[in-house]
Amino acid sequence: MTINPSDLEALWITLKLAAISTGLLLLVTPPLAWWLAHSRARWRPMVEALVALPLILPPTVLGFYLLLLFSPLYLPGQWVQAMTGTTLAFSFTGLIIGSMIYSLPFVVQPLQSSFATLGKGELEAAATLGMSRWKRFHYVVFPMTRHSFVLAGMLGFAHTLGEFGVVLMIGGNIPGETQVIAIALFEHVEALDYASAHMLAGLMLATSLALLLFIYVGMDRRKRAWGYW
């Protein structure tokens, strides 16, 4: 049995959403992860709790509040509509923003843990050579923590693949635009089309397992070779 065209389209949207969201998170979250790893500010625990909130917050709750913010009734949605003439609600762009927030802790926390264990000697040596902060990150921090970036990217990507509640609240179920694979699976179950549901569920199960195996095999090999991740 082959996947029908609408399911292939939902699969493409899901992969595109996961790739874009994860890529953007890997670009914008390292400064936050670095600050969380080294800051001694009294309000750091509050920021850390906000970052970790999507881990325990029901996805529909997060999606509901984001839907309100994206609507023209509130300032963020009003500003976007005034600037672009469109709304973030029920759009692919809105899905990207929602997915980034929903997967934020899965990317930030591995980076934060890696940055926290990074030795200061190499950074101090680079500073004495006159390297700027950007050069120190590019030539010292990133090479020493690149495996954590891989781990963060894989976790963020895998987490985004299985999104349901957040994307359904923000994007609805618009075929070809906001319908992701998890929503397509739900539709098949509602229609009692269990053959198609099995096809999509099996695909998601195999993909998720493959990603996790890649992560844990890589971690195990690095521990055996170096004694740490």
In a domain, 192, yes or no: no
Q: What is the mean pLDDT of residues 62-76?
A: 89
In a domain, 114, yes or no: yes
User: Based on the structure, what is the number of domains in the chain?
Assistant: 1
Higher pLDDT, 83 or 221: 83
Minimal CA–CA distance to 33: which of 124, 156, 121, 129?
A: 156
In a domain, 206, yes or no: no
Q: What is the DSSP letter of 141?
A: I
Q: What is the pLDDT of residues 140-175, one digit of tens each?
A: 888 888 889 999 999 999 999 988 999 999 998 899
In the chain, % of residues over pLDDT 70: 96
Single pTM value for the model: 0.88
CATH number of the domain that residue 65 is part of: 1.10.3720.10
Q: What is the pLDDT of residues 104-138, one digit of tens each?
A: 999 999 999 999 888 777 777 777 777 877 888 88
pLDDT of residue 137: 84
Outline where DSSP puts E strands in 22-176.
none
Q: What is the mean pLDDT of residues 194-211?
A: 92
In a domain, 43, yes or no: yes
Taking only Cα atoms into account, the Rg of the chain, rounded to an integer number of angstroms, comes to 20
Q: What is the mean pLDDT of the chain?
A: 89
In a domain, 201, yes or no: no
Using the Cα atoms of residue 120, residue 122, residue 127 and residue 132 in order, give the sign of their dihedral. negative
SS (H, E, C) 99-154: HHHHCHHHHHHHHHHHHHCCCCHHHHHHHHCCCCHHHHHHHHHHHHHHHHHHHHHH
In a domain, 191, yes or no: no
pLDDT of residue 75: 83
Q: What is the mean pLDDT of residues 64-89?
A: 87
Q: How far is CA 32 from CA 152, 183, 197, in A?
A: 14, 32, 39
**Distance between CA atoms of 102 and 92, rounded to whole angstroms?**
15
In a domain, 111, yes or no: yes
Question: Strand, coil or helix: what is 63?
Answer: helix
In a domain, 219, yes or no: no
**Distance between CA atoms of 80 and 107, rounded to whole angstroms?**
26
Q: Domain range for residue 67?
A: 7-180
Q: What is the pLDDT of residues 25-44, one digit of tens each?
A: 999 999 999 999 989 899 99
Minimal CA–CA distance to 156: which of 229, 94, 99, 91?
A: 99
Q: What is the DSSP letter of 24?
A: H
